[in-house]
């Protein structure tokens, strides 16, 4: 598997409500679980469960699915549209990880419609990007790249955009060196704003690939070790 494919998978399923100062995933899970018994209102409880589901998706997909299904059930009972859409997002993350790409697209389509109805622009961008990644996994690069471009055309500068620029850069073999440098800089710029160290590490990976491509292996290693 190529470095790009590995990083695309690494970037894929991150929701805006998981962003902010990036900490260890286990610490975030423990903190969320500890506060869960003290959440009194139904909406706050559903939001917390959805957050847990997304935090678990790269650590324990069974737990991720468990929390996603629980959140979907509770949100459906009280007719909480955002809770249902977020739960669909969590569940779809698990489907993608398990290689169920067509099912992922179907669920993302429902989640995208829900977020559009709620005018939830950050999540519209996130789901559109994830759909682009699913199409890449289905070897439909044309459709995947067009979905990335669709998000980039919004001109937004929220946290999800660093992932969109990075994924577009990694997935488009036709980009010139100048274009690659442009998208790497855009990725770094937004990741710095949101202190997203995971993406900043990936930026180093992208730079490393570029330097190797140019045959500058000594400089590549020097840049890689200084994260």
The enclosing domain of 103 has a CATH number of 1.25.40.10
Q: Which two tokens stand for residue 178?
A: 């100048």
pLDDT class for 126, splitting at 50, 70, 90?
very high
Dihedral-angle region of residue 139 (phi above 0 means left; psi in -120 to 50 means alpha; beta otherwise): left
Q: Are 149 and 172 in contact (CB under 8 A)?
A: no
pLDDT class for 222, splitting at 50, 70, 90?
very low
pLDDT class for 211, splitting at 50, 70, 90?
confident
pLDDT of residue 27: 86
Q: Regarding predicted confidence, which is higher, 217 or 42?
A: 42
The pLDDT of 126-154, averaged and rounded, is 95
How far apart, in Å, do the first and last CA atoms of the chain sit?
24
pLDDT of residue 196: 86
Domain count, the chain: 1
Domain that holds residue 172: 3-225
Q: Which two tokens stand for residue 10?
A: 């690494």
The pLDDT of 169-194, averaged and rounded, is 94
CA-based radius of gyration for the chain: 18
pLDDT of residue 216: 59
Let me know how long the chain is: 227
Alpha carbons 32 and 165: distance in angstroms, whole number: 30
The pLDDT of 98-106, averaged and rounded, is 95
CB atoms within 10 A of CB 202: 25
Which segment, 142-151, 165-174, 188-197, is predicted with the most confidence on average?
A: 142-151
pLDDT of residue 24: 64
Alpha carbons 200 and 205: distance in angstroms, whole number: 9
Query: By mean pLDDT, which of 3-12, 33-42, 99-108, 203-212 is the weakest?
Result: 3-12
> What DSSP string runs through 2-63?
-HHHHHHHHHTT--GGG-SS---HHHHHHHHHHHGGG--SHHHHHHHHHHHHHHHTTT-HHH
pLDDT in tens, 31-73: 999 999 999 999 999 999 999 999 998 789 999 999 999 999 9
pLDDT at 191 over 60: yes
Predicted model pTM: 0.83
């Amino acid at each position: 598997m190529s470095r790009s494919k590995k990083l695309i998978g690494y970037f894929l399923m991150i929701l805006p409500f998981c962003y902010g100062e990036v900490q260890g995933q286990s610490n975030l899970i423990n903190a969320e679980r500890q506060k869960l018994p003290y959440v009194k209102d139904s909406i706050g409880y559903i939001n917390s469960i959805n957050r847990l589901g997304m935090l678990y998706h790269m650590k324990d997909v069974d737990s991720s699915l468990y929390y996603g299904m629980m959140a979907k059930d509770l949100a459906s009972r009280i007719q909480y549209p955002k809770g249902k859409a977020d739960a669909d997002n969590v569940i779809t993350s698990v489907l993608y990880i398990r290689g169920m790409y067509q099912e992922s697209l179907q669920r993302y389509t429902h989640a995208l419609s829900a977020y559009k109805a709620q005018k939830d622009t950050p999540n519209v961008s996130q789901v559109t990007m994830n759909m682009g990644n699913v199409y890449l996994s289905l070897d439909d690069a044309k459709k995947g790249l067009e979905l990335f471009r669709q998000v980039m055309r919004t001109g937004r500068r929220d946290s999800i955009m660093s992932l969109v620029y990075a994924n577009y850069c990694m997935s488009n073999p036709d980009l010139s060196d100048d274009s690659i440098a442009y998208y790497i800089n855009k990725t770094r710029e937004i990741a710095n704003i949101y202190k997203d160290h995971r993406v900043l590490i990936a930026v180093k990976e992208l730079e490393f690939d570029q330097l190797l491509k140019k045959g500058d292996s000594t400089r590549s290693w020097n840049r890689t070790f200084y994260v």
